Structure formats: C-alpha cells, structure tokens
C-alpha cells in the first residue's frame, strides 16, 4: 500500500497493541539528538498546517534529513533536535487477492481485521512536530534543516523562530 492511502485521519485511532500479534515497531531510532546539556538561545519549530496522519517511515526520513544538515554544519554538539510526535496508531491492511480463481482462497469481508503494516502519528492543525534548539548565529542553518525535513512530510508546514527567555534568577534574602 502507498502512504497516501493512510494520510487522511479517518475513523477511530487503533492503538491497542496487546490485541495484535507481532505489532510493528516504529522505525524512528532516536527522538532526541544532539547535545541535551548545551545552552541555546533560539528554538526553531516545525509546525503542521493541516490535520493528517504521518507514517513512521516518513518521520524517520524527516529526522535523518534534518540531522544530516545540522551535523554537517555544526557537528555533533552544536544543536538539540527533538521529535515531538510519536507514532501510536497501528495501521492495518486487509489484503485481497485479485487474480483469476482467487475466490476460493480469500474470505472477503469476513474476518476483515487486517494485518498490521506500520504505524502512524495523528497530527492536528498547528501542532509542533520537530524542535531544534540552536545558538544565536546558527538560526539560518536550523531553518534550512527544517525546510529539508518538511519535504519528507505529507502536508504543508511552517517554521517558527523563537528566542528562549532566560530563567529568572533567584532573589537572595
């Protein structure tokens, strides 16, 4: 099946993994990349502009694309990349045989639960998908990384740059 068949969020989301034998594991290997202990001045965010389901392999492709741009420009410790969505929904497919003589081999709509073929994350309109925390001089690099990342996703996205407010210092009495 193609990814466009699962793009529209139709029906109830199916997340009950305990009833499926051999549920697929998400292909996303890391959700936080870079240096989590660093200090950053800016947060660059990728935000969805429509309600859609994103398959787990599309999320992994977007993560790889963004990480490649960031590591080539800044190295391993000049940024923090955080994937904000998790693919909970199990996608199923009821395979039908469409050849001659197949009427004796399949059940049709009887027992049409389907076999698990992948996972997806259901995303709402204006939901944050990916955050990149970055230093002051590297905002353009983070924007370019998220532009490359958005090309791998099945909906239009926008990029928002925010300055991180410093935590207020404790007043000594």
| Displacement of CA 157 from its chain's centroid (Å) | 12
What residue ranges in 15-139 does DSSP mark as E strands? Answer: 32-34, 42-48, 52-55, 79-83, 89-93, 115-123, 128-134
Residue 116: pLDDT over 90: no
Which H or E element spans position 160? strand 157-163
| Displacement of CA 156 from its chain's centroid (Å) | 14
pTM of the model: 0.82
Q: Residue 165 has what pLDDT?
A: 80
Q: Would you give the DSSP letter of residue 170?
A: P
Among 47-51, 102-106, 129-133, the least confident range: 102-106
Fold of 29-163: Aldehyde Oxidoreductase; domain 3 (3.90.1170)
Bigger pLDDT: 106 vs 43: 43
Q: Please report, for the chain, the start and end positions of each structural domain, with discontinuous segments joined by +.
A: 29-163
- Which stretches of 6-134 are DSSP H helices? 56-74
Which tokens belong to 28?
A: 């996303």
């Amino acid at each position: 099946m193609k990814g466009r068949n699962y793009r529209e969020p139709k029906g109830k989301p199916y997340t009950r993994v305990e009833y499926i034998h051999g549920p697929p594991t998400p292909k996303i290997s890391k959700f936080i990349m870079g240096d989590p202990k660093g200090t950053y001045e800016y947060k660059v965010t990728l935000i969805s502009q429509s309600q859609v389901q994103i398959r787990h392999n599309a999320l992994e492709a977007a993560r790889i694309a963004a990480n490649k741009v960031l590591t080539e420009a800044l190295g391993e410790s000049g940024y923090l990349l955080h994937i904000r969505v998790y693919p909970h929904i199990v996608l199923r497919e009821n395979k039908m045989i469409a050849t001659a003589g197949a009427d004796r081999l399949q059940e049709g709509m009887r027992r049409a639960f389907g076999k698990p073929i992948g996972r997806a994350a259901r995303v709402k309109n204006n939901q944050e998908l990916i955050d990149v925390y970055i230093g002051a001089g590297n905002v353009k690099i983070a924007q370019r990384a998220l532009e490359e990342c958005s090309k791998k996703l099945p909906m239009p996205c926008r990029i928002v740059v925010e300055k991180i407010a410093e935590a207020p210092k404790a007043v000594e009495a």
